[in-house]
Amino acid sequence: MDLNALVLDYCDLTINGEDKGKNIPIVDVQEIACSYGEPVNLEAVFSFNVKAVPEGELYLVCETPELFDIEINGEKLAQKDCGCYRDKSFRKLDISGLLRKGRNTVALKTLFKQSPETYENISKAGGFESYRNKLSYDMEIDAVYIIGNFGVETDGEFTEIPRNALSFKGSFSVCRVAENG
């Protein structure tokens, strides 16, 4: 059986020591950072709740983790590579024993930078989405994942929306796997 995954794709963002917002979609972070037109000190803090600390294998999955200083609950993570997850760039880092009951955080810190040519191309693209979609970045920031033998509970509600989709309002919490799997 595959390990379960909790996607962390919203973060509190700090750039050059300045708070840029809370609960920002990770898909917006790169654009915000690139808008400076120069390298920036970036910190993205992802939060999640743990109702019951999972037992067994537990990993943080991050794309190109070697580009980041990573902290779990304020403690620097020793980045011992435990292999890939779904893609060779997405690396598993052991976080067994680092989670606690209640609110947990994963902080990614880096000097976020692009080549001068990339900054120039971003500037030329302006508001033209079709041109921006063709850009290639030297460094990217993406969602992180907690994977392991755990369940996920929610306190929110799902609402049906058009196109056989669901909308969700609430939060997710990591919990132990039910006895029956």
DSSP class per residue in 55-76: -S-EEEEEESGGGSEEEETTEE
Single-letter amino acid code for the residue at 46:
F
Residue 181 lies in a domain: no
H or E segment to which residue 86 belongs: none
Residue 63 lies in a domain: yes
Residue 26 lies in a domain: yes
Residue 49 lies in a domain: yes
Domain, as residue range, for 145? 4-175
Per-residue pLDDT tens over the stretch 60-83: 999 999 999 999 999 999 988 999
Residue 10 lies in a domain: yes
Per-residue pLDDT tens over the stretch 93-128: 999 999 999 999 999 999 999 999 988 888 888 777
Q: Are 153 and 51 in contact (CB under 8 A)?
A: yes
Mean pLDDT score across all residues of the chain? 91
pLDDT at residue 179, rounded to an integer: 55
pLDDT at residue 168, rounded to an integer: 83
Structural domain count, the chain: 1
Residue 113 lies in a domain: yes
Measured CA distances, 151 to 6, 54, 144, 176 (Å): 9, 8, 17, 5
87 closest CA partner among 63, 59, 57: 63
pLDDT at residue 123, rounded to an integer: 85
Q: Regarding predicted confidence, which is higher, 129 or 15?
A: 15
96: CATH: 2.60.120
